[in-house]
């Protein structure tokens, strides 16, 4: 069986998990764990049984990489690889700026290769189970809150956390945003740590999105209201509730306990399959750019109370 030659660039907190998933796949040969921190690269390499290095320059024949370096480095790391024809799974957000994002997409086109953006929640089993049931939502309420973690603070809560729900909602609604309002507050960092955005789409749908990285609890929920039905998706617990209205105006409730699934493994498996068999990816560069553009539109409209 032909194996895909892959590497992971940036094996910090998230990149380490990427390396573990690749190493467990029978059709993948994980040839390198790459990190500027040599000790970190060696630690992860020993764990997954591969070679540690601080750059990919000494390797040939690499066909696919996951890139999990800081967002500010996405363009400089991804573009040369894409231009060389190497398929890239690039962690979210796609880039620090929309200009860099466009350059990354153009590099993939020049290289004739695959670019997938790591919006992990697209592979959440609760969303996959009910996506076909979501049609023309009229109102969406999203909450994504979690305790503070030092990692990820190179960007504000909109680019760090809210962008997950922006990507999902843009995909589900499929309509241009006509107007928005947003507020945000910095709490533990110099950037906004809690934010709320209200989006009005051309279809008439309203989305109210809250993100916080300074909360005591964890919540990752989206609630959707559409004609004759209400759907509640719990991403953290992989479960869903569906309420429908019958012809006799009776409310019917269906609870779905989704079987446990590893979203990251599903994401990487989807990427590997696309590279090996020439398929399309679920979250391409254009989707990543749209989510980033919306995140910056929200940032530009953000009202931050004076401290």
Task: Give the tens place of pLDDT for each residue, 285-302.
Answer: 999 999 999 999 999 998
pLDDT at 75: 97
d(CA 277, CA 25): 16
Q: Please tell me the predicted confidence (pLDDT) of residue 162.
A: 95
Domains delineated in the chain: 4-119+264-283 (3.40.50.720), 122-259+293-303 (3.30.360.10)
Distance between CA 218 and CA 195 in Å, rounded? 16
Residues 6+ apart with CB under 8 A from 2: 27, 276
Q: What is the DSSP string of 18-63?
A: HHHHHHT-TTEEEEEEE-SSHHHHHHHHHHHT-EEES-STT-----
Within 8 A by CB and 6+ apart from 304, the residues are: 183, 184, 185, 186, 192
* Residue 119 pLDDT exceeds 80: yes
**Model's pTM, two decimal places?**
0.92
230 CB-contact burial (10 Å; exposed 0-12 / middle 13-18 / buried 19+)? middle
Q: What is the distance of C-alpha 63 from the center of its chain?
A: 22
Beta bridge partners of 91: 118
In this prediction, residue 260 carries a pLDDT of: 65
Residue predicted with more confidence, 154 or 284: 284
DSSP letter at 94? S
pLDDT score, position 60: 86
Q: Each residue of 133-175: pLDDT tens digit?
A: 898 999 999 999 998 876 656 678 999 899 999 999 999 999 9
* Beta bridge mates, 131: none
DSSP 127: H
Residue 209 DSSP SS3? strand
**What is the helix (H) or strand (E) element at residue 232, kind and residue range?**
strand 229-234
d(CA 186, CA 146): 15
pLDDT, residue 167, reads 97
pLDDT-based confidence at residue 99 (cuts at 50, 70, 90): very high
Q: What is the pLDDT of residues 236-267, one digit of tens each?
A: 888 899 999 877 778 899 888 777 678 999 99
């Amino acid at each position: 069986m032909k194996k895909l030659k892959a590497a992971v660039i940036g094996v910090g907190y998230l990149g380490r998990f990427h390396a573990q998933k690749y190493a467990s796949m029978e059709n993948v040969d994980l040839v390198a764990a790459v990190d500027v921190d040599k000790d970190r690269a060696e630690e992860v390499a020993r764990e997954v049984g591969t070679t540690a290095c601080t750059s990919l320059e000494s390797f040939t024949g690499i066909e696919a990489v996951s890139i999990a370096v800081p967002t500010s480095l996405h363009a400089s790391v991804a573009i040369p690889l894409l231009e060389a024809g190497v398929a890239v799974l690039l962690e979210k957000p796609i880039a620090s700026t929309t200009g860099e994002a466009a350059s990354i997409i153009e590099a993939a086109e020049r290289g004739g290769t695959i670019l997938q953006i790591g919006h992990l929640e697209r592979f959440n089993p609760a969303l996959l189970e009910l996506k076909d049931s979501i049609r023309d939502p009229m109102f969406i309420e999203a909450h994504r809150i979690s305790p503070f973690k030092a990692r990820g603070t190179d960007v504000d809560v909109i680019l760090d956390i809210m962008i997950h729900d922006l990507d999902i909602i843009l995909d589900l609604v499929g309509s241009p945003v006509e107007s928005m309002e947003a507020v945000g507050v910095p709490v533990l960092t110099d950037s906004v740590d809690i934010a709320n955005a209200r989006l009005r789409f051309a279809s008439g749908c309203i989305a109210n999105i809250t993100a916080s990285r300074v909360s005591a609890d964890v919540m990752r929920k989206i609630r959707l209201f559409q004609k004759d039905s209400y759907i509640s998706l719990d991403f953290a617990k992989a479960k869903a509730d569906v309420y429908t209205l019958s012809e006799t105006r009776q409310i019917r409730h269906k609870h779905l306990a989704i079987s446990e699934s590893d979203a990251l493994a599903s994401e990487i498996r989807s990427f590997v399959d696309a590279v090996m068999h020439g398929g399309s990816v679920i979250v391409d560069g254009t989707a990543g750019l749209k989510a980033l553009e919306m995140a910056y539109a929200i940032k530009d409209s953000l009202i931050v109370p004076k401290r």
